[in-house]
Each structure stands twice: as structure tokens, then as C-alpha cells.
Structure 1
Amino acid sequence: MSSPHRLVEDGVRRWGRLPKRPVVADPLAAYTGLTRRLKRLRLKEWVGFTLLHPDWYSSLIVQDAHYLAGSEIYAYDRAGGVLHQHAANAPGGSPTLPAELLDGVCRFERDGYRIVYAFHAPSARHRIEVDIAATPKAPAIRGELELDAGAATAPLSVSSRLPGGSMYTYKAAFPARGVLRVGDAQIVFDPARDLAVLDEHRSLLPYRTRWLWGTFATPTDAGPVGANFAARPELPGEPEESALWTPGRCEPLGDVSFRPDSTDSSAAWHITSRDGRLDVVFQPEGRKSVKHDLGLFAIDYYQLFGRYRGVLRGTDGDFEIKDVHGVCESMRARL
């Protein structure tokens, strides 16, 4: 199947697993007039990265709910056991999150807080820039990473209907090169070892939203190997965003279950697909949480960062997962 130039062509949306990201991914193009303006209030867009490094756990995101926008970044020092966090808010619609992502620039800028993603499809080189000033609670985080799209995983690109909404997501894992500085600490990223996992969403989420999600990846001589997996309310027959990344392939998964060993926040999670092709255990090392209840709107979210072990059973063979950095998160919200 050839990839469409647009997610929505002549008012008709493409559904299913797509071979790559459409050049233009704008779900609002399926609507006109008042309906389009109302749908914009339901649109939730974000572009984020999970940075995979042996000594530091880190994630960053730029997001726009169209009534409020924000950005967050954290960096966890494994040796010191210290979590450093920054966040900033902005009016809805103010971040730059272009529908033509892979030849565009995402940007979130406030006083003392700047995150930029520069995507350059023709050169196969993307860039993450971070320039965040120190605060009384956290040190400055600054630096630049270059991502090698030519050596990335096969893309995960899914357009699906949800109960009361719809989802579009694009994900891939890229070898990363560069330096981040967290206070006086210097984190050097080696593309032979370290990866950045992209997570883009352009989704019309239902008012009551919940999901469990996780991801990890690791380099091999044949290319990155890893997985993206989620469990959320689904419609029968609609594609899920769960998949294995094996060298040169993005292999669909379905029916993923998340089973924590206990209610303890440090408990391990056993995560499997019904067909057994994903069978891993996630051991958390730390937790980042966001919890707000504003009446009409509320969010109860946490992301765990830690290590995965287990096995991926791909079309061309099995891959042992041993001490691989990744994340696992839970979201329950009224958006």
C-alpha cells in the first residue's frame, strides 16, 4: 500500500496502518465550518521523545490541547538517584506543531524555557535543541542532539477510530548523537548505543480518556529493535498502535495486557501480547507524576522509567531483551 500524501484527502480520512507518515497529518481537514471549530477543542496534539541512555533517564514533550498548551522535560540521574524536572504552560494554539512534521520545526518558547525539534526529511538528519534556565528547584538543561533518520526503525503510523473519538500516531526510534548538560553533568549520546524514540499524536480524544502505554528500544548490529504497546478502550476491528520494531520491520501487535505484580509503586510489570510475541517484564527505577482536579478537567498521570527484560518474537526470529531502558505510563483524564 502506498502512503497517502495527506491523512485527509478531499475531506475523506485514511484509516488503518499506514506504511509511513503522511506528508500532511491534519485530522481537522475532515471537517468544515462550525464542526471544525468544535472539533479543534477536542484535538490533542503532542510531539515528544524518550531518550535512551545507560546512565540517565529522560523524556521531553511539547503538547497542545487547544485550550491550554505546555511542555515538560525530566532527567533522572541513575547514579545519584535524583530527578530533575522543568515545565512551562502557554495559551492553547501557541506552540508550533506543524502538520508537515518531517519537514518542519516544532517549537515551544517561554522566558527561560526553549525546546525545538527541527526535522529535515531530505537530509535524513533531525535535531533536538534544549535551552532551559535553572530554577530554584532544578538545574539548567541545555544541549543539542542529532537524530539519524536513515538508521531509524521502520515507522509506526496508525490512523484509527476510538470510542467517542479518533487517533493518529507516528512513532520511530532514531540513533542519537550529541550532548545534554544537566547542571554541571554532561551526558554524551553515542549513536552506536543511544536512541531517541519519537511519539507524535494528532488525536480527537474522548472527554474521559484513559490508557496504559510503554516503549523501549535497543541497538543491534542489524538495526534498532524494540516495541511500542498500549491498552485503551478500542472499537472492534480497529488497528492498535502496538507493534514490534525488528530490523527493517514494524510488526503489528494486538491484545496487549499490563499486569503489575502489586499496587506498590516500585512493583515490576509483566507486559504481554496475547500471541506471545511480546513477553517482557518492566522494573521501574523512578516515577514522574502529574495530578490535577479542576472539576470539569482533571488529569491523573504517571510515567515510570526503568529497565525491560524478556523476549520479542519477530517474523525473522527472537530477540532477547536484557536491561533495556524504557518507560511505562498510565493516564486517566477528563480532557
Structure 2
Amino acid sequence: MSTPERLIEDGLRRWGRLPDRPAVVDPLEVYGGLARRLKRMRLKEWVGFTLSHPDWYASLIIQDAHYLAGAEIYAYDRAVRVLHQHAAHAAGGSPVLPAELLESACRFERVGYRVVYSFSRASARHRIEIDIAATAKAPAIRGESELDAVESTAPLSVSSRLPGGSIYTHKAAFPAAGVLRVGDAEVVFEPDRDLAVLDEHRSLLPYRTNWVWGTFATPTDAGPVVGANFAARPELAGEPEESCLWTPGRCEPLGDITFEPAAADPSAAWHIASRDGRLDVVFEPEGRKQVRHNLGLFAVDYFQLFGRCRGVLRGAGGDFEIGDVPGVCESMKARL
């Protein structure tokens, strides 16, 4: 299958697993008039990164629900077990999240809070810029990173129907070089060791929505990046999931993912596996980021765990042992 120029062409949407991200991804193009305006309020868009480093866990996101928008970042210092967090909010529609992602820039800019992702498919180099001022609760977080798209994983690009909605997601893991400064601490990212995992969504989610999701990636001794993206949510029979194995040069489809915490304790390990056994890992949490809001019609009960993964990936070209690899798992239950 060739990659379409647009997700929506001649009024029809492409469904399934795509070889790469279309140049233009706008799920609203299939609608017109009043339907388009109403669907815009159901559209949930975000672009974020999980950063992989041996001494720090970090993640950042720009998101737009079209009635409210925001940006968040956290950085966790493993040595002293301290979590630093910043968040900012804005009117829906105010972040710049262009449909032509890979030849554009995403921006969230307010006084004291600036995050920019610059993407260039032509140069195969992407950039993350962060400039967030200190607050009474957290130190300043500033930095720049360059991401190498030549040495990245094969892309995960999925367009899928959901009960009461649809998703489009694009994901990949990139070697990352640069510096992140968290207060007085300097975190140096080395491209032969450290990664940034991209997570883009352009999804028309049902009002009541829930999912469990996780990801990790790591360079191998031979150089290529391997890893996995895995999710469980209400699905329609026959529709592709957004789960995959990243093996050298390949994005291999996965399905039927189970997440099994060993106990109710938030610090308990999770066993994460696909039914066919090609993904079989244990995730050991080290920390937790949580968001809870209840605004009547709208509510969010969300947490993301960051920690380490160990186990095995069984790809088409062979097995890959995973040991002490940074990763994340999250749970979302919401009325959106």
C-alpha cells in the first residue's frame, strides 16, 4: 500500500494501517457545514513526546480538545526521586497543531511557557524547544533537542473506527541529542543511547472514553532501535489496533493486549502481553503523574506511570531481550 497524500481523499477516509503518515491529516475534511462544526467539538488532537534517559524520566504534550487546550511537562529525577511538573491552559483552538505535521511546527506559547516542535521530513531532522519559567511549585525547565528521523523506528500510522468515534495516530521513536535543564540540573541526551518517542493523535473520541496505553523503545547493541507501542480500549471487530512491535526496519502489527497489575498498590508491577506472546514484558513503576477533574459534563481520571521494562519482543526477524528499559504506562477514564 502506498502512503496517501491526504487522510481524506475525494471525500473518503483511508482506514487501516498505513505505511507512513499522510502529508495532511484532518479528520474533519470528510464533513461539511453544520456537521463539521459539531464534529470539531468532538475532535481531540495532541502531539507529545516521551523522553528516554537513564537518569531522568520526562514527557511533554500539547493538546487541544477544541473547547479547552493546554500543555504539560514533567521531569523526574531518579537519583533524588523528585517529580517536577508544569502545566498551562488556553482557549480551545489556540495551540498550533498543523494537519501537515511533518513539514510544520507545533506551538504552545504563553507568558512563561513556550514549547515548540519543528518537523522536517525533507531534512529528516526534528527539533524540540522548551522554555518554561520557574514557578512557586517547580523550577524552570529549558532545553533543545534534535531528533534523527533517518535512524528512527519505522512509523506506526493507524486510521481506525471506534465504537462511537474514530482514531488516527502516528508514532515513532527517534534518537535524541541535546540538553534539558531542570533548575540547576543539566540532562544531556546522547543519540546512541537516548530516545524521544512521538505520539500524535487526531481522533474523534466518544463522549465516554477510556484506554490503557504504554510504550518503550531502546537502541540495540547493533544500533537499530527496537520497542513497542501497546494499547487496550473498546474496539470494533476487525479494526486495527494502535499496537505494534518496532523491530529493525519494521513496524509489526500487534493486537489483543492485556495489562495485568500484580496488585492494587499503585507501585505494583504490571505484566503486559499480547495474546500471541510476541510482546511479553513486566513494567516496574518508579513514579506517577496524576490528573483528576470533575466538571459535571466533563471529567478526567488519568494517570501515567513511568518506570522500567524487562522481558522479550518476538519479532519476525528474531527475539529481542528487553532489560531495564525506560517506559511509560497510562490509564484514562473520561467524559470528554
The TM-score with structure 1 as length reference comes to: 1.00
Alpha-carbon deviations, 1:271-324, whole Å to 9, x = none? 000000000000000000000101100000000000000000000000000000
2:114 match: secondary structure: strand
Q: Percent of counterpart pairs with the same letter?
A: 79
1:75-114 paired onto structure 2 within 5 Å: 75-114=75-114
Question: What is the identity, as a one-letter code, of the residue corresponding to 2:252?
Answer: E
User: What does 1:221-260 align with in structure 2 at a 5 Å threshold?
Assistant: 221-260=222-261
Deviation per residue, 1:180-212 (Å, 9 max, x gap): 000000000000000000000000000000000
1:27-42 to structure 2, matched below 5 A, reads 27-42=27-42
Q: Distance in 2 between matches of 1:11 and 1:66?
A: 23
Deviation at 1:222, TM superposition (A): 4.0
Superposition deviation, residue 121 in structure 1? 1.0
Instruction: Give the 3-state SS of the residue equivalent to 2:37 in structure 1.
Output: helix
- In 1, the alpha carbon distance for the partners of 2:294 and 2:320 equals 42
Could you list the runs of 4 or more consecutive aligned residues of structure 1 that deviate by over 2 angstroms after TM superposition?
A: none
Structure 2: 5+ residue stretches without partners: none
The count of corresponding residues between Structure 1 and Structure 2 is 335
CA distance in 1, matches of 2:40, 2:13: 16
**Secondary structure of the corresponding residue to residue 173 of structure 1:** strand
- Work out whether residues 60 and 71 of structure 2, in 8 Å CA contact, stay in contact via their aligned partners in 1: yes
1: CA distance between counterparts of 2:233 and 2:39?
Answer: 21
1:262 is the counterpart of 2:263: yes
Contact 2:278 2:314 in 1 (8 A): yes
Q: Give 1:128's aligned residue.
A: 128
Question: Whole-Å Cα distance in 1 between the matches of residues 232 and 283 of structure 2?
Answer: 16
Q: Partners in 2 of 1:260 and 1:191 — Cα distance? A: 32
Alpha-carbon separation, structure 1, partners of 2:28 and 2:11:
9
What does the per-residue CA deviation read over 1:104-143, in whole Å, with 9 as the maximum and x for residues that have no partner? 0000001100000000111100000000000000000001
Contact 2:232/2:256 (8 A) holds in 1:
yes
What is the letter of the counterpart of residue 76 of structure 1?
Answer: Y
Aligned to 1:12: 12
1:34 match: secondary structure: helix
Paired residue secondary structure (2:122):
helix
* Secondary structure of 1:265 counterpart: coil
Aligned-partner Cα distance in 2 for 1:30–1:264: 45
Q: For 1:140 and 1:10, locate their aligned partners in 2 and report how far apart those are by CA, in whole Å.
A: 47
For each residue in 1:202-225, what CA deviation from the matched residue of structure 2 results, as whole angstroms up to 9, or x when unmatched? 000000000000000000124100
Spell out the pairing of 1:102-181 with structure 2 (5 A cutoff): 102-181=102-181
Question: 1-side partners of 2:307 and 2:143: how far apart?
Answer: 23
Tell me how far 1:38 sits from its aligned partner: 0.3
Aligned partner of 2:73 in structure 1 is 73
Q: Structure 2 counterpart of 1:194, which letter?
A: D
Report the AA paired with residue 26 of structure 1.
D
Mapped contact 2:8–2:30 kept (Cα < 8 A) = yes
Whole-Å separation in 2 of the counterparts to 1:171 and 1:108: 20
- State the SS of the aligned residue for 2:150: helix
Residue correspondence of structure 1 range 273-292 to structure 2 within 5 A: 273-292=274-293
Does structure 2 retain, via aligned residues, the 8 Å contact 1:222–1:247? no
- In the other structure, the counterpart of 2:55 is 55
Amino acid across the alignment from 1:265: P
Structure 1 residue 72: deviation in Å? Answer: 0.1
1:35 and 1:293 map into 2 onto residues whose CA distance is: 28
Secondary structure at the aligned position of 1:178 is classed as strand
Q: Which residue of 2 aligns with 1:295?
A: 296
Superposed displacement of residue 11, structure 1 = 1.1
Structure-2 separation of matches of 1:55 and 1:84:
14
One-letter code aligned to 1:318: D
1:117–1:126 contact (8 Å) kept in structure 2: yes
2:312 corresponds in structure 1 to 311
Cα offset for 1:27?
0.3
The question of whether the paired residues in 1 share the 8 Å contact of 2:192 and 2:223 is answered with: no
Q: Does the 8 Å contact 1:267/1:284 carry over to 2?
A: yes
